[in-house]
Amino acid sequence: MTEENKAVVRRFYEQVLNQNRPEVAQEIVAADFVVHGGAPGTPRGPRALTGIGERLRAGFDGSTFEIDDLVAEGDRVAVRWTMRGRHTGEYFGIPPTGAGVALHAIVIFRVVDGRLAELWPLIDHPGLIEAAASAA
């Protein structure tokens, strides 16, 4: 079961985010999917994850995700990832710098019946802000 859960998470990063195929989220994200600790007003369901991709693409041209570590136990999959891109649009109030940046995160997904059901993110926004400010 853990290998199948890891495959669903990989598919999210590879197809939904890296290949910009938001329609895949309809297949792999539960209708009641929730982001714990997300920004106020974060929608539920597949839109919660496709919206994340849209915001990142708007802020970072050519953004790509690399899975650095992927660990699973039971219905949980932990991912340590790095997103790289050029900071060409505003992101969380940070004006574009044009600099190449890396954003790091560790997130935990809960997978139920082959679909992403919950997400607990820990994203290094302070590191991104510091890198963007020093590049400006």
Q: Does domain 2-135 have CATH number 3.40.50.720?
A: no
CB 116 within 8 A of CB 45: no
Residue 12 buriedness (CB in 10 A; 0-12 / 13-18 / 19+)? buried
Q: Which residue ranges make up each domain of the chain?
A: 2-135
User: Which distant-in-sequence residues (6+ apart) come within 8 Å of 135 by Cβ?
Assistant: 87, 97, 98, 99, 101
pLDDT tens-digit map of 82-99: 999 999 998 878 888 888
**pTM of structure:** 0.90
Q: Tell me what pLDDT residue 136 has.
A: 61
pLDDT tens-digit map of 93-122: 888 888 888 999 999 999 999 999 999 999
